[in-house]
């Protein structure tokens, strides 16, 4: 199997009848941020069930406070060709119960998987590959699920034979010819799970499609079962075909724009900055039109820190905001944010909308 690394567009190839030919227009890797380079949220902390960490990656955690996630945890050197990884650290020695599940996952949009033809007789084979570094050895597990219905699963296994060493893994999966899979829409289609521990209710036979919502293979290693155990991952790729190819390392700006479709921050944690202009429409109301850099998957919702982190500056006075909302004219390309100042302001004036305290953040989310 080819070694992963950074490649230029002209090096992307496909093989037909043993002939290597250029293929520079396809989105070969269906995973976004597979090299773990984008972390708009700046996340580093305890995993919460269903919550996003690095861009496009989220956690499954049936019990609270069992593992933490951060970018480049432990300062381990990534594999050659990569600069970042998603790092998991177990917080305790937890005995996984039958109904427990723990994993990191990415949900892929239907527009990016419709050509796979899953759920039909023409379902295409795919290969999932990644680099894994773990303090534990043994047989690890994961799965692919259908989004929405959650009633089709393909548990898989892979081996980590040497602890604390980057290991390149590859799993080839025949496409599912039955079940319900989302077509060319902006809804979710499939979910890739890398398990950190799963009970019998969420585990099944590896290497075969079956009914149910399974997150891992029966008997797989439990990362959360060992206090302080580590599990690092990068270079995740899902592609059509029966073998893994070199990692599709897209330009940083392209990868960032792909992430912006699902999440965008106008103001990051750790920076006090202007967000935009605001029109004061009443003594207790102000509004601002904010444009996203790309069209998002759907009309987003607001994602901001609750607290006195935001102000409007008008007539040389700063006024704090007590709450925010989105007007109904908001869409996938721009939003109209309205806020309620904590004290009366003068209608008809224009002010500057600020994140005034560095511990705040202000963004929008259209995640799956």
pLDDT tens track for 213-258? 999 999 999 999 999 999 999 999 999 999 999 999 999 999 999 9
Alpha-carbon dihedral of residues 266, 271, 272, 278, nearest 10 degrees?
Answer: 0
**7 pLDDT exceeds 80?**
no
In sequence order, what are the residues at sequence separation of 6 or more whose Cβ sits closer than 8 angstroms to the Cβ of residue 130?
Answer: 34, 168, 169, 194, 233, 234, 235, 236, 237
Q: Are 205 and 285 found together in one domain? A: no
- Host domain of residue 99: 9-260
Residue with tokens 């991952």: 233
3-state secondary structure at position 202: helix
Q: Which is it for the CA torsion 284, 289, 292, 298, positive or negative? A: positive
Helix (H) or strand (E) holding 173: strand 167-173
**2 pLDDT exceeds 60?**
no
Q: Are 252 and 267 found together in one domain? A: no
Q: Are 195 and 237 found together in one domain? A: yes
Q: Flag whether 1 is in a domain.
A: no
Q: Are 81 and 161 found together in one domain? A: yes
Q: Flag whether 193 is in a domain.
A: yes
Alpha-carbon gap, residue 305 to 271, rounded angstroms: 13
- What is the predicted pLDDT for the residue at 16? 33
Q: pTM value?
A: 0.92
User: What are the tens digits of pLDDT across the range 148-171?
Assistant: 999 999 999 999 999 999 999 999
Q: Are 170 and 82 found together in one domain? A: yes
Edge-to-edge strand list for the sheet holding 152-160: 58-61, 101-109, 188-198, 138-146, 152-160, 210-211
Burial of 234 (0-12, 13-18, 19+ CB in 10 A): buried
- What is the predicted pLDDT for the residue at 96? 98
- How much is the average pLDDT of 132-141? 98
Alpha-carbon gap, residue 56 to 82, rounded angstroms: 18
Q: How far apart are the first and last CA of the chain?
A: 32
Could you count the other beta carbons within 10 Å of the beta carbon of residue 229?
A: 22
Q: Flag whether 271 is in a domain.
A: yes
Q: Are 201 and 333 found together in one domain? A: no
What's 97's domain CATH number?
2.60.120.260
Side-chain-side CA neighbours of 188 within 13 Å: the count stands at 18
Q: Flag whether 2 is in a domain.
A: no
What's the pLDDT band for 272 if we cut at 50, 70, 90?
confident
Helix (H) or strand (E) holding 217: strand 216-217
What's the pLDDT band for 88 if we cut at 50, 70, 90?
very high
Report phi then psi at 10, rounded to 5.
-70, -10
- How much is the average pLDDT of 135-140? 98
Q: Give the C-alpha distances (Å, rounded to integers) separating 274 from 71, 158, 271, 277, 287.
A: 27, 48, 10, 8, 14
> In total, how many domains does the chain have?
2
- How much is the average pLDDT of 174-192? 97
Alpha-carbon gap, residue 58 to 365, rounded angstroms: 13
User: What are the tens digits of pLDDT across the range 21-64?
Assistant: 334 446 899 999 999 999 999 999 999 999 999 999 999 999 99
Q: Are 287 and 252 found together in one domain? A: no
Alpha-carbon gap, residue 79 to 85, rounded angstroms: 9
User: What are the tens digits of pLDDT across the range 311-359?
Assistant: 999 989 999 997 899 999 999 999 999 999 989 999 999 999 999 888 8
Residue with tokens 């500056």: 313
Q: Flag whether 4 is in a domain.
A: no
Q: Are 274 and 190 found together in one domain? A: no
User: Which of 240, 260, 280 delimits the end of a domain?
Assistant: 260
Largest CA distance in the chain: 73
User: Which of 235, 260, 285 delimits the end of a domain?
Assistant: 260
Q: Three-state secondary structure along 240-309?
A: ECCCCCCCCCCCHHHHHHHHHCCEEEEECCCCCEEEEEEEEEECCEEEEEEECCCCCCCCCEEEECCCCC
Q: Are 217 and 303 found together in one domain? A: no
Q: Are 31 and 163 found together in one domain? A: yes
Q: Are 214 and 337 found together in one domain? A: no
- What is the predicted pLDDT for the residue at 25? 43
User: Which of 233, 260, 287 delimits the end of a domain?
Assistant: 260
Q: Flag whether 86 is in a domain.
A: yes
Q: Flag whether 102 is in a domain.
A: yes
Residues 298, 261: contact at Cβ < 8 Å?
Answer: no
Q: Flag whether 329 is in a domain.
A: yes
Residue with tokens 């904590």: 342
Could you count the other beta carbons within 10 Å of the beta carbon of residue 235?
A: 28
What would the two tokens of residue 291 be? 């444009």
Q: Are 248 and 332 found together in one domain? A: no
- What is the predicted pLDDT for the residue at 1? 37
């Amino acid at each position: 199997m080819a070694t992963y690394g950074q490649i230029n567009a002209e090096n992307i190839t496909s093989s037909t009848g043993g002939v290597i030919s250029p293929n520079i227009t396809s989105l070969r890797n269906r995973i976004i941020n597979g090299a773990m380079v984008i972390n708009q949220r700046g996340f580093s902390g305890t995993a919460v069930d269903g919550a996003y960490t690095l861009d496009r990656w989220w956690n499954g955690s049936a019990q609270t406070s069992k593992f933490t996630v951060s970018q480049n945890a432990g300062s381990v050197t990534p594999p050659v060709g990569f600069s970042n990884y998603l790092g998991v650290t177990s917080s305790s020695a937890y005995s996984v119960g039958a109904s427990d599940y723990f994993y990191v996952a990415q949900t892929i949009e239907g527009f990016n998987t419709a050509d796979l033809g899953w759920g039909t007789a023409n379902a295409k084979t795919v290969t999932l590959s990644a680099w894994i570094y773990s303090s534990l050895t043994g047989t690890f597990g994961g799965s692919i699920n259908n989004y929405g219905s959650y009633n089709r699963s393909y548990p898989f296994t892979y081996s980590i034979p040497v602890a604390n060493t980057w290991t390149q893994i590859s799993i080839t999966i025949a496409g599912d010819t039955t079940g319900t899979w989302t077509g060319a829409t902006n809804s979710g289609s499939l979910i890739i799970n890398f398990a950190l521990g799963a009970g019998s209710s969420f585990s099944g036979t590896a290497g075969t499609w079956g009914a149910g919502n399974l997150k891992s293979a029966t008997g797989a290693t439990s990362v959360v079962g060992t206090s302080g155990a580590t599990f690092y991952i990068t270079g995740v790729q899902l592609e059509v075909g029966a073998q893994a190819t070199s990692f599709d390392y897209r330009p940083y700006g392209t990868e960032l724009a792909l992430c912006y479709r699902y999440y965008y921050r106008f103001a990051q944690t750790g920076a006090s900055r202007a967000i935009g202009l605001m029109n004061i429409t009443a003594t207790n109301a102000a509004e601002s039109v904010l444009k996203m850099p790309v069209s998002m998957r759907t009309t987003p919702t607001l994602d901001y820190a609750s607290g006195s982190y935001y102000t409007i500056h008008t007539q040389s006075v700063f006024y704090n905001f007590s709450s925010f909302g989105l007007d109904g004219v908001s869409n996938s390309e721009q939003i109209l944010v309205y806020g309620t100042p904590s004290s009366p302001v003068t209608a008809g004036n224009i002010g500057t909308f600020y994140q005034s305290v560095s511990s705040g953040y202000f963004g929008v989310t259209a995640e799956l």
